[in-house]
A and B are shown apart, each in its own frame.
Chain A
Amino acid sequence: MTDDELLDSLARMWTEVDPVPPGLVDDVLAGLAAATGDDDVELFELLGAVDTPADLRAGEPVPALRFSRYGLEMLVRVTADGDRRRLDGWLAPGGPGTAVLRGAGAELSAPIGPTGRFEFPDALAGPAVLEVRLPADAGRSRRVVTPSFVV
């Protein structure tokens, strides 16, 4: 057996003992559809993780994802309680608007308050994308979607 043949065998072995999770391809396709499916949809850029200030929530600072898109900035924080996930979001400038969380085959929506605050107290764990819909000029709404992240 040549080195290449042995490495081919190893590739097949790892594919068998540690296969790609069954839902991952579909999750990728859903994420791409959200990011590219509609020319009117804008994409948030992930700027990285930041610690949310302690005054947002009593106790230890919790890391949050920071996203931005022209004129908008958003923090998203996921906290786990056993199998349950809680997602808190802050959008600047504030609402009114609607936040839509898509993932794990389900779609949830929540209002964005005038301070920019929104929350999904019982989100499903797993990869998801978050979309914000904001009223814009001429009766149209502006839609901005995050890349997929894990809830």
Chain B
Amino acid sequence: MMRAMTAPPAVRPAPDDDVWGRAGELFAEWLDGRPAAVEDLVRLLTPVLWQVARGCRLPADDAADVVQHAWVALVRSAVSIAEPRAVGAWLVTTVRREALRRVATGGRTVGAGDDVLDRLADPAPPPEDVVVAGAEAHRLWQAVRTLGARCQELLRVVAFDRRPDYAALSERLGMPVGSIGPTRGRCLARLRAALGEVPA
């Protein structure tokens, strides 16, 4: 499987790279009249928005659609975003709201990771560098699979958005807002146990 070949140039979505700060800078440049900045912004944040939409268990075609709509909505609403640094949060919120709305009204969802499982089950041997690069991911994925669907979904959301919309999450996961934090802690503890890791 050519996963490594078809993946876009790696923009690491983990927030430790300060993706949100960079997004704010690009958005400000675009508002200041540099049209090419929006292209950089799209390349930077689309992979993150994809994960947000997929984390709501949307099928791939719906997830792509939701991401596209969020970008068009951003361009049309740009003037209403007073603080450029808020652009990342605005996009994530727009994607998540629309994704959850579609999940609620359309009834089309995929099981947590069902199609990912299919991909990993691809019998074609991947190139060796992918095997090496994917070793950590494979180990983590095996551990994540041992968790319940709710834990998987919650961890996927917070992995890409450390300060998510708790009210929306609460509704989606069917748990009180106040229990999201503790549940997150329990899910991480279970993941550590599955990884055989002593808590930090």
Pick from A7, A20, A32: contact of B75, CB below 8 A: A32
Chain A residue contacts of B39, Cβ below 8 A: 29
| Nearest CB in chain A to that of B72: its residue | A147
**A24-B61 in contact (CB<8A):** no
8 A Cβ contacts from A15-30 to B: 15-22, 24-25, 27-29
**A25-B8 in contact (CB<8A):** yes
A72 within 8 A of B: no
**B141-A7 in contact (CB<8A):** no
Interface centre among B62, B68, B120 (most CB of A within 10 A): B68
**B61-A150 in contact (CB<8A):** yes
Interface centre among A9, A18, A21, A22 (most CB of B within 10 A): A18
B188 within 8 A of A: yes
**A31-B65 in contact (CB<8A):** no
In the complex, identify which listed stretch (B12-20, B80-88, B166-174) lies at the interface while the others stay far away: B12-20
Chain B interface residues toward A at CB < 8 A:
3, 6-8, 10, 12-16, 38-39, 42-43, 46-47, 50-51, 54-55, 60-62, 64-65, 67-69, 71-73, 75-76, 115-116, 119-120, 133-134, 136-137, 140-141, 144, 155-156, 158-160, 162, 188, 191-192, 197, 200
List of 9 A-B pairs having minimum Cβ-Cβ separation, nearest first = A20-B50, A10-B159, A8-B14, A13-B137, A11-B14, A11-B159, A13-B140, A19-B7, A147-B72
